[in-house]
Amino acid sequence: MLSASIMILLICVFALTFVPLTTERQLFEVILRILDRSNCPGIVLSLSDAQTENEISLLNLLTGNNRKPITLFTHGRNEIVCNDAIVSCYSNANELSSIYRNLRHHFHLNKVIALTNLTGQADQVLLDAMNERVFVLLEQPDTSIELLRWSVRHNRILRYANLSIFDTRLNLKFSDRQLRIATLHHPPAVVVRTDESGTVLEGIEPSIVKLVAEKLNFTFTYVLARSDEMWGDMVKNKTTGKIIRFTGIRGMLVRKEVDLAFGDLYVMPSWLPHITFSQIYKTDYDCFVVPGPKPLANWMALIVPFTSNTWLATCASLLLITVALFLAGKLNQRNSLIASFIFALGQLLWIQQPRFPDGRTSACRLFLVWCWLFAATILSTVYRSGLISFLTRPFAQQPIDTIQQLVESPLHKMMFSDFYKTVLMNSSDPHRRLLGHQLTATNNISHMMSLLETGQWAVDSSLDSLNYLMMTQSTSPHYQYLHVMKERLFPTRSSFGLQKDSPLKDRIDLVLQRLTEAGLVDYHRSMKPSGRRPPSAAKPTLVRFSLVNLEGAFYLLGIGILISTVAFVIEWILPVLFRPDK
């Protein structure tokens, strides 16, 4: 097999008998015009073992009038994969159809041009192929050339007589042919709306399809997939593992019920033997949406301004200062450990002290002024600022942003279809592998999205769809606290789906490439009304400040009153209990 990046033009000349040179020159000119837009960088010339004068003449014409390199190839090889083929057959009436079948069996064919002078075999090969990519050049006795091709739209053979130059009717367009296109409701790629006038399709991809249809000159009708099948899956026999049926819009392509399918359709290797994908026009990411972090309770205002490490460091510093004050005072006079603690705590809480503790007054004073008072000022200021900030805008819990956090969370996980679940289960990353075992697959995406309302599920979808959900459902109480994980699951590639070996692929690929290069695909992704945040959602909303927001402050006040009361009672009771008897 040759590299897929090097496309080859195969010219198979079989049993070429005597043909006038003027006719051969005319055939050569028509062939070059038909293959004028071919992307093949080279030509492989396949000659019979007994090379005739006309075969040599054809080789000379190709060598002298063609810029592409020529490679000679003798019959009998079976290692070449060709894209375009020219078959010359003038002898046996049945050979042309046989050669075409053999070529299809051994090679992947793009355009096939058959050269013959027998009307019967020209019609027969077109009826057998029923393919718009097969052209027959029929030589007439008067040295003129008639071109025959199959029309899918008219379901018959079209004839173009007396070709002296390339007929302008032979172009890349579909001549107003009507196509059946399968799709589904998957915002913002496809938005299906039903009103009094009927069903209307909006969104990113219907806009792109309209541009493609306008460029290629075809009309279309939509066929909507069932809500419980969506993109489709391969249903296999549980015993033998053999595929018994195909579902969804991909299944419609396999059964040839539609010509084209779209709707954020991912390119999957498992479907390549059954359908054909167009050129990729959009890349995105698959990721999870999880219940968002809810605001912390208002009573958490007491501890939120500091982290746990800061609280531990503050308590340790308070104990250290207490011990230092106690030891410094013990060298001179009797000093109480409790008195030292109360003094240090008072400085931390910005409570004015009646006097400095006894002991080495000068050293203790310097220590308090330059160390502890400075630290206490910073701590108390930061705490007050954090408390005010929390009361103004409550903090939220830590969101789930990584796959490891998702795996360790108690949330149920769900995704559409089994394909990516299998990929995750075979991943080399242990967290992704564990996630694959935790996943539940479904074929009903509407049910999957509805589970988000319970707050107990994490759901996988494309990033565009999740952003659309967050934008359009921002006012719904069930979707207000949703969060899109920052770590992505997979990069995805979207394209149009076509029937296997569809003759429409080359023309659709060409238009999609031009639309992508022109930036029109990105334009529709960013500017469609269905995919933007509503203007009202961007306006800030004012929330009235209530007593509920001061719950933490009231807790702090209550704790302070309780501690003060306990201290007062202790100071009042202790002298009574320990008063010496008279």
Place domain 172-281+495-539 in its CATH homologous superfamily: Periplasmic binding protein-like II (3.40.190.10)
Cα dihedral 462/231/250/495 (nearest 10): -20
Angle, nearest 10°, between helix axes 53-65 and 21-34? 50
Q: Domain coordinates of the chain in residue numbers?
A: 8-160, 172-281+495-539, 305-392, 547-577
State both tokens at 393: 């805008």
Query: What per-residue confidence (pLDDT) applies to 468?
Result: 82
What confidence tier does 169 reach under pLDDT thresholds 50, 70, 90?
Answer: very low
What confidence tier does 407 reach under pLDDT thresholds 50, 70, 90?
Answer: very high
What confidence tier does 530 reach under pLDDT thresholds 50, 70, 90?
Answer: very low
Write out pLDDT tens, residues 197-220: 778 888 899 999 999 998 888 999
Query: What per-residue confidence (pLDDT) applies to 387?
Result: 73
What confidence tier does 405 reach under pLDDT thresholds 50, 70, 90?
Answer: very high
Mean pLDDT over the full length of the chain: 77
| Cα–Cα dist 83/474, whole Å | 51
Query: What per-residue confidence (pLDDT) applies to 21?
Result: 45
State both tokens at 291: 């219940």
Residue predicted with more confidence, 25 or 441: 441
Instruction: Look at residue 549 and tell me whether its pLDDT is greater than 90.
Output: no
**Mean pLDDT in residue range 405-409:** 93
What are phi and psi for residue 400, nearest 5 degrees?
Answer: -85, 115
What confidence tier does 8 reach under pLDDT thresholds 50, 70, 90?
Answer: very low
Top-confidence range, 3-12, 159-168, 292-301, 380-389: 380-389
3-state percent helix, strand, coil for the chain, nearest multiple of 5: 40, 20, 35
Say yes or no: do domains 8-160 and 172-281+495-539 share a fold. no
Residue predicted with more confidence, 107 or 384: 384
Write out pLDDT tens, residues 140-156: 776 677 888 887 666 78
Query: What per-residue confidence (pLDDT) applies to 84?
Result: 77
Instruction: Look at residue 90 and tell me whether its pLDDT is greater than 60.
Output: yes
What confidence tier does 79 reach under pLDDT thresholds 50, 70, 90?
Answer: very low
What confidence tier does 543 reach under pLDDT thresholds 50, 70, 90?
Answer: low
Instruction: Look at residue 64 and tell me whether its pLDDT is greater than 90.
Output: no
Instruction: Look at residue 14 and tell me whether its pLDDT is greater than 60.
Output: no
Angle, nearest 10°, between helix axes 95-106 and 119-129? 30
**Which residues, in sequence order, are bridge partners of residue 223?**
182
What confidence tier does 363 reach under pLDDT thresholds 50, 70, 90?
Answer: low
**Mean pLDDT in residue range 526-545:** 53
Among 24-38, 193-207, 312-326, the minimum mean pLDDT is found in 24-38
Asked if residue 499 lies in contact with residue 275, where contact means CB atoms within 8 angstroms, the answer is yes
CATH class of the region 8-160: alpha beta
| Residue 268 CB-density burial (10 A; 0-12 exposed, 13-18 middle, 19+ buried) | middle
Asked if residue 482 lies in contact with residue 452, where contact means CB atoms within 8 angstroms, the answer is yes
